Every structure is written in C-alpha cells, then in structure tokens.
Amino acid sequence: MIWVKSGLHRLEVACKDLGMKFAPPITRAFCLFSLFLGVLVPRVSALVVWDESIDGPLSASGNAPTVLNLAPGANTIRSSFGGLNGQFDYFSFTLPIGQSLEAFTLDSYVSSDAVAWLGIKAGTDWTISYDTAQMIGQQHFGTANIGSDLLGFSAGNLLGPGTYTVRSQQLGAAATYQLDLNVVPEPSTYALLLLTGAGALWWVKRWRPVAAR
C-alpha cells in the first residue's frame, strides 16, 4: 500500500507539471487515471506459465510443441533438459494484436555443462532442424548468461504479434533453467491511449460549465 500511495502521489505531481494544477477536478482525475494506466500496464505481476515439477516436462517433439498462454507482464517458465531428461524442449506461444515480447530473460541455469542452446522461429511447430536462415534468433546460453536477455529482444527491438515456437537443447549433462518472457503493449497501443486521453481532456475543457456572471 505504501508503494501505491507513493506512486499515486508522483502521478498527481506529474499531472500538475502538465498544467493541471488549476484544472477542474474531473480533468485532474482523468489525467491521473491515464498516467496510472501507463504505469500499471508494464507492472503486471509475474505469472508462472509452466513449471515442470507441477505441469510435467515440456514437449520433446518439434511437431507438437507445448502451447503456453502468455499474459501481459513477466511469464515464467521452469524446466529441465539434457541427461536423462531428454535433449530438447519445445514450446510455442501467440502474441495477439496489441502485444509484443520485450524481453526473453534467463533467470537461472544449473548444470555441470555450462552451455546450452536455443532458437526461435515463426509458426506453430519446429521442422527446420538447425536452419538458422529460418530462425528469428538463436544463441548459446548458460551459466554466463544468468540475468541477461537472450535472443536480442529489448524495448528497442520488440517481437511483434504472431505465433512463435522455441527450441532449447542440452546435449550434455542434465540442466535446470528458468526463463522470463516479458510481454508489453505495442507502441501503437500506448499512442492510442495518449490520443484518447488528450481528446477526452480537450472535450472536458471545451464543455465545462461557464461560470455565471
């Protein structure tokens, strides 16, 4: 609750800085609400979308990847591969219109084999073997990459709407790992929110009652 109150106070200050200090209460309230939405959307709590200890292993078949349902915010995947666990993990996910993937982060990796591999491609399955020309991205990952974003996705290089399949592999010793896939609104979604807010503020200002003389 302290964080929420502090955040709302900062948003109120921001509205005043935008020239809302002497605006009618309804205008200030709309400004506060619009800014609050902009802060709230990227801060959705982490969601565990797959945990091998609960859900079982991810698919080992590229023809039938495990389908994951991602939500806005951080989506956690916990799995293991290599050794007796099987060499491959396959999963797919769909980003609907209005959403993008901003980060593909390796949160943990535990193995006596410090290096594994993963790749991502468009589509609902993985039938391309190691044809990197058909991949959106691929890289080795492991102990040295813990806490880092994989595959080159970032706020400046978003993965847009569509269906994608990921293949990860460990051909050596058994390994456990955790990934966080961070889903955010597309830039166009933010732009629409700002335009809508600006239009509403103009409307409120245009049609507010004129004081009696």
List the CATH number of the domain containing 142.
Answer: 2.60.120.290
Answer whether residue 213 is part of any domain.
no
**Domains of the chain: total:** 2
Regarding whether 120 and 75 lie in a shared domain, the answer is: yes
Contact 80, 177 (CB under 8 A): yes
Regarding whether 193 and 167 lie in a shared domain, the answer is: no
Regarding whether 198 and 136 lie in a shared domain, the answer is: no
What are the tens digits of pLDDT across the range 126-152? 999 999 999 999 999 999 999 999 999
Answer whether residue 212 is part of any domain.
no
Regarding whether 202 and 100 lie in a shared domain, the answer is: no
Single-letter amino acid code for the residue at 112: S
Overall pTM surpassing 0.75 (yes/no) = no
- CA 210 – CA 207 distance, rounded (Å): 8
Mean pLDDT of 152-167: 95
Mean pLDDT of 192-199: 48
3-state secondary structure of 8: helix
Regarding whether 57 and 156 lie in a shared domain, the answer is: yes
Regarding whether 108 and 33 lie in a shared domain, the answer is: no
3-state secondary structure of 135: coil
Give the pLDDT confidence score for residue 45 in this predicted structure: 60
Q: Per-residue pLDDT for 38 more than 70? A: no
Domain range for 80 is 45-184
Regarding whether 109 and 197 lie in a shared domain, the answer is: no
Q: What is the DSSP letter of 159?
A: B
